[in-house]
Chains A and B, each alone.
Chain A
Amino acid sequence: MMAAYIILAVVLFMILSLILEWVDRKVYAHVQHRVGPFVAGYHGILQPVADLLKLMNKDEVVVEGSDEQLLHLMPILSLTFVLFSLLFVPVASVEGLLSFKGDLIIILAFSVLIHLFYIVTGLSQRSIFASVGAARWGQLLISFEIPLLISVASVALVANSVTLSEIVSFQSNSFPIILLSPLSFIAAVFASLAKIEKTPFSVPDAETEIAGGWLSEISGRRLAIFRIVTDLKYLLLSALIVTLFLGGPLGPTVSGIEPLLSVFWFLVKLVFVAILLSYVRGIVARYRIDQVIRFFWFKITPLAAVNLIVLIFLRMGKVI
């Protein structure tokens, strides 16, 4: 029974991630006064599927001298890990499909492991652009993981737990955590943007400088899988922000159809956060790598740290 639920959840998450990609592209296009995808389906809603099918049909070209076994392994591993960490996110009730003590840290650990696979992908191609992209991924990673972890730590401090179901039930008993940690919310939004390599921080695959970066020699099915992984990561981070700061699936409910309304509130908050991420992506230009690191270390990390320190003092004074 559990296996059937998990398979159903995986399929639904994939469909949801493709719809989110459409939302992202539409919002991004409208910010720039374009119409965006318009041909396939209603207002182009099937365009991500069409892109995926096109990539699936293409030939895979492997440059001579690159490590082919690792290049086969890495897309599959990253897809597995991102899907596995999505199963922990609570959608229909307070608890996710999988849940155990400390699952928030395991989600963060898996999201770091996905970047490890990205870097290995970049380094196992025989291309200078891919190597530069992989090195940039590492530099980007040490700049945005710190504020992300600090902001998650302040959430864990307020809820007094590192388990997602306990954080959500804390919020159902009192209030959404964003009221106590607004600065952490801002830091988490920027760190998420960097994590899904959207425009202001799209340094590792900068098309204008290093021709696609860590993906420059990847083609065909592997590129398709990496695109799904990016979409699922977009879904995962939006869902994580919704769960941690906005109360996850909580909202006004009518008794009898609670799971349905939980899913509805979750999707409403998810689309709100996704539109916020796309809008930020649309209105700013891309930073250089040194500017990104300076931005995260000297602006976003202090922002998250101030919030955490204030919360620690509040906890010591027994206010929360």
Chain B
Amino acid sequence: MMLEVVQIIVSLLIIVSALMVTEVRGLVRMALSFSIMSALIAILFITLSATYAGVFQLAIYAGFIPIIILVTVALTRGGEDVGD
């Protein structure tokens, strides 16, 4: 019972953070929201007793993919956004 409540709450939070990925202003915050969403999906996997799937979800989708997005942002950002 308790586990089901946790799963429902986490699922709702996943939907909220997935909406945040599209709605939030700024690419840095977008990548962070994506990372939060992936971490929540990892929690959902772990509560569904798929520990390894959850751990790898955390490593790859919450860790590496946002970093690659952010590196792309940092390398392609023009002069208009950074400093003077």
Interface positions of A (Cβ within 8 A of B): 67, 70, 100-102, 105-106, 108-109, 112-113, 115-116, 119-120, 122-124, 126-128, 131-132, 134-135, 138-139, 141-142, 145
Contact = CB atoms under 8 A, between A and B. Distances in A.
A81 to B, nearest CB: 11
A105 B83 contact: no
Nearest to A145: B64
18 contacts: A67-B28, A70-B29, A70-B32, A100-B51, A101-B52, A105-B56, A105-B59, A109-B58, A112-B67, A113-B35, A119-B67, A120-B31, A122-B74, A124-B28, A127-B83, A134-B70, A135-B71, A135-B74
A205 B36 CA distance: 27
A132 B75 CA distance: 8
Contacts of A116: 35, 63, 66-67, 70
Contact of B59 (A108, A131, A139, A141): A108
Nearest to B72: A138
Interface of B: 26, 28-29, 31-32, 35, 51-52, 55-56, 58-59, 62-64, 66-68, 70-71, 73-75, 77, 82-83
Given A101-B51, A113-B62, A139 B82 contact: no
Q: Describe B's contact surface by its main secondary structure.
A: helix
A106 B82 contact: no
Given A102-B55, A106-B58, A108-B59, A134 B83 contact: no
Contacts of B62: 109, 113
Nearest to B57: A109
A139 B51 contact: no
A98 to B, nearest CB: 14
Nearest to B39: A113
A141 B74 CA distance: 14
A101 B52 CA distance: 8
A123 B26 CA distance: 11
Contact of B63 (A100, A102, A109, A123): A109
Contacts of A122: 74
